[in-house]
Amino acid sequence: MKWKCLNCGFEVDASVEYYWKCPRCSSPLILDYESTCEIVESKNVWERYRGFIPFKPGKYRGEGLTPLVEEKIGEHRVLFKLDYLNPGGSFKDRGTALAIAYGYKLGFKKTLVDTSGNTGISVTLYSKLYGLEPIIVMPTTAPQGKKKAVLKLGGRLVEAESRATATQLVTRFMSEPGVYYVGHIWNHLYPIGHATIAYEVFEEQGVPDVVIVPVGSGGLLLGVHYGFKKLKECGLINRMPRIIGVQGYSCQPVYRELYGTEEKGEESNLADGILVPNPPRTREIVEAVKSTSGEVVLVGNTEITRAHSELWEQGFLVEPTSAATYAGYKKIMNKIPSGSKTLIVLTGSGLKTL
């Protein structure tokens, strides 16, 4: 198990040392490890997909193996993955469960993360499980419910003016002794954890034709891509789904990188979970989208609000960021061939933001 820099070639034994980015060239690192490609019968996601992940976390809180609900929308078969039914209320738990287990094994005593909210809940939850002290830096603009959840879980909440200043503020705490900067937008254990979504969908429904996910830091998009790629490398599937990312008009770094331009449109601040201005893995995200003939779609608040209401009335109690994904689907559904199987990942619980 090694941390590797694909940019400059730096590498280090990951069972001994952790760097949240390459110490030579500041690029994001990837985790390289052996896979057996074996799926075993278990209700514990980490036992079930042990053959696809680098190690099995010591603690389990019911993360993963979330429901998949199929609906016919027009001529499409749409698969809704209810990942907001994870124990911390979002898909982030999949990545966090791995990332915190790793930090614990390396002997860290405190965890640190800058987040728009959901990762804060998730990191606090799993840190406390391992007896680690969580420090959560969150923008004041984050929904009250997300802040309250962090405090109730026993996390130390530090508020920053915006998502961007949260990222700056976090460096202050990095020098404290024993601090593990979880850095979910850098840490490759997040995509590796999120990849379990692909394994679960594959077991129930094979390969979808299209996968639609929200793109903030891109950890989910990269995770789903990683998962299907791994299944292909293992010889379990022979094609990749088209991967489509959804961003808001207010914050479109991946769209800009992909198409070389920004598109003007309505504000999209309702989807607070995808307001990440400079995702460090932007190049990888663009590569994943391009290599699967995917695209990036932009949405604004009106579309998000409408999609949000529709999802609730269909019985999906999600937060607005998840609705952005559905809004993105509706925007491009006419371009998806009829009979296609489209996976929509519903990422965060709306109960937190009532």
Residue 39 engages a second copy in binding (rule: CB under 8 A): no
Helix (H, G, I), strand (E, B) or coil at 349: strand
Residue in 87, 164, 236, 331 binding a second copy, rule: CB under 8 A: 87
Q: Is 315 in the site for a second copy (CB under 8 A)?
A: yes
Report the distance separating Cα 242 and Cα 265, nearest Å.
Answer: 25
Helices of type H across the chain: 45-48, 92-105, 118-129, 144-152, 163-174, 189-194, 196-205, 219-233, 253-259, 282-291, 301-313, 320-332
- Report if residue 236 touches a second copy, rule: CB under 8 A: no
User: Using the rule CB under 8 A, is 152 a contact of a second copy?
Assistant: yes
From 4, 21, 128, 156, residue interacting with a second copy (rule: CB under 8 A) = 128
Task: Give the shortest CB-40-to-a second copy separation in angstroms.
Answer: 15
- Shortest gap between Cβ of 7 and a second copy (angstroms)? 37
Site map 198..217 versus a second copy, x via CB under 8 A? ------x-------------
Q: How many residues bind a second copy (CB under 8 A)?
A: 39
Binding mask 253-292 for a second copy (x = CB under 8 A): ----------------------------------------
Among residues 316, 324, 336, 342, which is the contact residue for a second copy, using CB under 8 A?
A: 316
Residue among 98, 15, 320, 339 at smallest CA distance from 208: 339
State which amino acid sits at residue 78.
V
Residue 157, CA distances (Å) to 106, 154, 179, 326 in order = 24, 9, 15, 31
Assigned token pair, 203: 């077991």
Query: Residue 354, interface with a second copy (CB under 8 A)?
Result: yes
- Cα dihedral 13, 18, 22, 24, rounded to 10, equals -70
- Under rule CB under 8 A, which residues in 156-185 are in contact with a second copy? none
CB nearer a second copy, residue 61 or residue 330: 61
User: Applying CB under 8 A, which of residues 39, 69, 164, 237 lies at the interface with a second copy?
Assistant: 69
Binder among 18, 126, 226, 329 for a second copy (CB under 8 A): 126
Verify binding: residue 153, a second copy, rule CB under 8 A. Answer: yes
Single out the residue of 21, 16, 101 nearest to residue 53, CA to CA. 101
- Write phi, then psi, for 160 (nearest 5 degrees): -120, 160
In whole angstroms, give the CA distance from residue 293 to residue 299: 20
> Rule CB under 8 A: which residues touch a second copy?
43, 60-63, 65-69, 82, 85-89, 125-126, 128-129, 144-145, 148-149, 152-154, 204, 312-317, 349-352, 354
